[in-house]
Amino acid sequence: MDLTRDAMLVTLRIHHWSGKRYDRKASEHVAYHHDADTDAGRYTKRLLPKAAFAALTKAVSAARSAHYDNTLPWDDQGKRLLSVDNFDYYTATLDGCIEQMVGARTRFIEDYDFHVARARANLGRLFDPDDYPPKEALGRKFRVRYQVTPVEDAGHFLARLGAEDAARVRRDIERDVEARIHDALGDLYRRLGSAVERVSERLGDGDDGKPLVFRNTMIEHLRTLVDVVPRLNLFGDAHLARLCEEVKERIAAVEPDMLRPSRSFDPGTRERVRRAAAELAPQFAGYFEEAA
């Protein structure tokens, strides 16, 4: 495995105006009328109705989820590891989320004056026109973008060090990279294992002896995972690949309606899938702990 060849780093940047503002006068007013210290609490007002941000919030959430679902943890500065095999899917998905954000932003700006008028009525004397940015500034307040950079090759600066220093620094770098790879691979195990464990739990019976509620999204989530995990398994972990294939064949391939009371319900299939999930879940648990 050569990370500089098989992977890249990607950073997601999101700008999303909250539409909220701390009101010092209102906070002081509340404190005064309750005989409280002025620093006992803060009054934050919602400048626009919550519904005004619904489409924008949905677009941001979709972008953030897609970013994390299709990448692996790498450092503490927000960079995540993206495999070359998953590059096309990642960029197509994020570009779709960005398009969704642009559309929601356009509609928000078109309706901005209406939202402000509603806010004036809702806020009463708390309304302050100076709290509201001009319409032409809103485009900069709602943005989603991603930046792709190569995985850094330490060779170019090691060559400038003396032999002894270079050897020490190389050892430190190798240990750091090994720890990051360990955590990234462990993240894949935890993602898939948690989903399998959830299926195992929900296919049991409740205290009343009746089947627990089982939703389509549990199988749909597993199907997404067994699709993306092989593309993110750039470390070639054979054990993970085998478990992923078993989950795909024994659990994800089953239609959700067969696992819960419905016209297609099959108690035998439910029990078979429950046993498969119960058997597979322990194989994920604790397989990778956090790197020391």
**pLDDT, tens only, 169-222:** 455 445 656 777 878 888 999 999 999 999 999 988 777 777 778 889 999 999
Mean pLDDT of 235-241: 90
pLDDT at position 51 is 92
Reported as a pLDDT band with limits 50, 70 and 90, residue 21 is: very high
Distance CA 222, CA 202 (A): 14
Q: Which uninterrupted H or E stretch holds 188?
A: helix 163-202
CA-closest candidate to residue 248, choices 229, 269, 265: 229
% of residues, the chain, pLDDT over 90: 61
pLDDT at position 163 is 54
Reported as a pLDDT band with limits 50, 70 and 90, residue 6 is: confident
- In the three-class reduction of DSSP (H, G, I as helix; E, B as strand; rest coil), residue 212 is classed as coil
Q: CA-CA distances (angstroms) from residue 249 to 30, 244, 245, 265, 272?
A: 61, 9, 6, 19, 12
- The whole-model pTM stands at 0.81
Mean pLDDT of 19-27: 90
Mean pLDDT of 160-166: 48
- The mean pLDDT of the chain is 86
pLDDT digits (tens, 9 = 90+) for 80-105: 999 999 999 999 999 999 999 999 99
pLDDT exceeds cutoff 90 at 277: yes
pLDDT at position 250 is 95
Q: Which amino acid is at 209?
A: G
Mean pLDDT of 52-58: 96
Reported as a pLDDT band with limits 50, 70 and 90, residue 161 is: very low
pLDDT exceeds cutoff 80 at 2: no
